[in-house]
Amino acid sequence: MKRGLGMHENDISNVFDRWNKGVLDSFLIEISRDILKYNDEDGHPLVTKIMDSAGQKVVLTKRHKLTKGYW
């Protein structure tokens, strides 16, 4: 959506929010929505600053705490 449609992270999050209220209701859609909404201290989307190196990703938990996970 970002590359193909040029959408901003917040707009993509809103689409995921609508999807999560329908037949696509799932945990993955929900956490993707939450991660896209999360802004860093400077007000910019944190997801744009995350680099996936060595298969590690940072995820936002339900309590809005950032944790590292191995995938």
CA distances from 49 to 4, 18, 21, 27, 69 (A): 19, 25, 28, 23, 16
Q: Which residue has the tokens 């939450």?
A: 34
Whole-structure pTM value: 0.66
How open is the CA angle 70-3-45, to the nearest 5 degrees? 60
The per-residue pLDDT for range 32-70, each reduced to its tens digit, is 999 999 998 888 888 888 765 545 555 555 555 555 554
Q: Which two tokens stand for residue 48?
A: 């744009």
Contact 33, 20 (CB under 8 A): yes
How much is the average pLDDT of 17-29? 93
| pLDDT above 90: residue 20 | yes
Q: What is the pLDDT of residue 21?
A: 94
Q: What is the pLDDT of residue 5?
A: 92
DSSP type of residue 64: S
Q: What is the pLDDT of residue 71?
A: 42
